[in-house]
Amino acid sequence: MDVEGMNNTNVMCLLTDPEGTQLGAPMYLPQNAGPRQLQEIVNKLLNNEEKFPYSFYISDQELVVQLGSYLEKNKVSVEKVLRIVYQPRAVFRIRPISRCSATIDGHKSVIVTVAFSPDGRQLASGSGDATVRLWDLNTQTPLHTCTGHKSWVLCIAWSPDGKHLVSGSRAGDLLSWDQKTGKASGNPLIRHNNWVTAISWEPVHLKSPCCRFVSSSKDGNAHIWDISLRRCIISLTGHKSSVTCVKWGGDGMIYSSSQDCTIKVWESLEGKLIRELKGHGHWVNSIALSTDYVLRTGAFDHTGKQYSSPEEMKEAALKRYNKIRGNAPERLVSGSDDFTVFLWEPTISKHPKLRLTGHQQLVNHVSFSPDGQWIASASFDRSVRLWNGATGKFVATFRGHVGPVYQTCWSADSRLLLSGSKDSTVKVWDIQKHKLKQDLPGHADEVFAVDWSPDGEKVASGGRDRVLKLWM
């Protein structure tokens, strides 16, 4: 790989993956080498039979020009070894969302939550009118109105095999729904005595078909339920205040964040507390895992492939999970009322890997990109910040909203980020160029909930104006 006749036109480069593992020894490359040549080198060194696309980063900045141009622009010395991080890119590319294709009435109150099914073929929304609604994405019309809750529906979650939909309400009850009829399958699941804040399913690569999920509540507890037995099988107690968010990780751990400023890590077989993550000085509002996207979508990807058996689905999901996780441990990110974001590796240490500062107000929502490479944090300071998902290093601030940012969601190829805000707009941000790609006005009031379909075709948004908008 070394170039003959090494002179001042060559640069000593070291290729590493995002975790810092070196790919071979340092090598001399000509200054006219760019991303295309680096891609060939990486594919060759990794012995990839089929050629995969990669992005390359120097000091968290994507290399889009020849090495010489980069060195000149950034005043980098050729005397030092240049560390270049290679990152696999999605083989497919999502088309940017640019227009509203449907504005659908139906809910009689605020839309609090929206969620596409793992295969992207179905959409559900939860509202202050105490209903869950299922929408027909082909005709872009209401399909079913699911009634049974007595109070606001605050959260909904599809099982990663797409077979179940569960919702939680402000009254503390949980209901599962038959997607074909829109009727509740069985009586409400009752154990919480305050509103349900989050629901997360056991990953399909651990158990297929899916039957267990965990719910968290303002009552300070989390409960593991078995949908086939229709009862609570384990209670996770120990938080001293409201549990704000819960996640079921890919290695079987359950993570719960709370207004008691802590995050607890539980094992899911008996519900034993493994460790407590302390560091935040105020309420922890939101947590996300580096593998969230693949845990949510299970075996389904952009190709739309369907599976004939639970075993086949489990195998495909495990393959996808292992590919995204790589050799590194699952990472966790948390956002808090103390204006900070923390990056953790909970299976390795109870201490944060890094404290990410910069927001001027509370951090409302955090999310990892589908490939785990980026972290987005949404704040009441009207900005979205982008961080490196492996190192936690600050990358960019997205400004443009004129009100608090409530929620973000990612395109399946990790190239675009979408945010919904109190300012009644939805905005799409370009991750590579670090700037606004598309401004999507249209809502008449605050936008509380956004989701991007896993097939990349559609975005759904809802909020205070009680309409569901679909964007293409």
Contact (CB, 8 A) for 471 and 463: no
User: Residue 369's pLDDT band (boundaries 50, 70, 90)?
Assistant: very high
The pLDDT of 393-412, averaged and rounded, is: 97
Distance CA 427, CA 441 (A): 8
pLDDT at 3 over 60: no
Measuring CA to CA, which residue among 210, 209, 204, 413 is closest to residue 299?
204
* Per-residue pLDDT band at 19 (split at 50, 70, 90): confident
The region of weakest confidence among 52-56, 187-191, 200-204 is 52-56
Residues 382, 283: Cα–Cα separation, whole Å: 19
Does 192 fall in a domain?
A: yes
3 in any annotated domain: no
Same domain, 36 and 150: no
- Report yes or no on 127 lying in a domain: yes
Question: Does residue 300 carry a pLDDT above 60?
Answer: yes
Burial 82-111 (b: 16+ CB within 10 A, else e): bebbbbbbbeeebeebeebebebebbeebb
Q: What percent of the chain has pLDDT over 70?
A: 98
Amino acid occupying residue 140: Q
Angle at 221 between CA 448 and CA 205, to 5 degrees: 75
Mean pLDDT check: name the lowest of 1-15, 181-195, 202-216.
Answer: 1-15
Rounded to whole angstroms, the Cα distance separating 233 from 357 reads 39
Question: Do both 121 and 19 map to the same domain?
Answer: no
Does residue 93 form part of some domain? Answer: no
- Which of 39, 54, 88 finishes a domain? 88
Which residue bears the tokens 């297929």?
208
Look up the CATH number of the domain holding residue 53: 3.10.20.90
Q: At which of 88, 122, 154 does a domain end?
A: 88
Q: Are residues 259 and 147 in the same domain?
A: yes
Within a domain: 31: yes
Q: What confidence tens digit (pLDDT) does each residue in 314-327 have?
A: 999 999 999 999 88
Average pLDDT, the chain: 95
The letter for the amino acid at 392 is G
**Is 220 in the same domain as 293?**
yes
Do 134 and 74 lie in a common domain?
A: no
pLDDT at 79: 85
Q: In what order do the strands lie in the sheet with 82-88?
A: 27-30, 10-16, 82-88, 54-58, 61-62
pLDDT digits (tens, 9 = 90+) for 236-250: 999 999 999 999 999
* Arithmetic mean of pLDDT, 262-274: 98
Q: For 223-228, which contacts have Cβ atoms below 8 Å and span 24 or more sequence positions?
A: 223/191, 223/192, 224/254, 224/268, 224/271, 225/174, 225/189, 227/159, 227/164, 227/166, 227/176
Residues 420 and 391 grouped into a single domain:
yes
Q: Which two tokens stand for residue 131?
A: 């209903």
Dihedral angle sign, alpha carbons of residues 99, 413, 287, 120: positive
The answer on 280 and 241 residing in a single domain is yes
Averaged over 373-392, what is the pLDDT? Answer: 97
Q: What is the mean pLDDT of residues 165-194?
A: 97
4 is a domain residue: no
Residues 191 and 267 in one domain: yes
In this structure, are residues 152 and 170 in contact, taking their beta carbons and an 8 Å threshold? yes
Residues of the domain holding 61: 10-88
Q: Quick one: 322 and 356 in the same domain?
A: yes
- The identity of residue 262, as a single letter, is T
- pLDDT in the model for residue 8: 58
Quote the pLDDT of residue 61: 85
CATH of the domain at 250: 2.130.10.10
d(CA 341, CA 332): 10
SS3 assignment, position 430: strand
Q: Which of 88, 114, 130 is the last residue of a domain?
A: 88
Q: State how far the alpha carbon of 163 is from the alpha carbons of 136, 210, 282, in Å.
A: 17, 8, 37
Rounded to 10 degrees, the C-alpha dihedral 116/117/122/126 comes to: -50
Mean of the pLDDT values across residues 171-175?
98
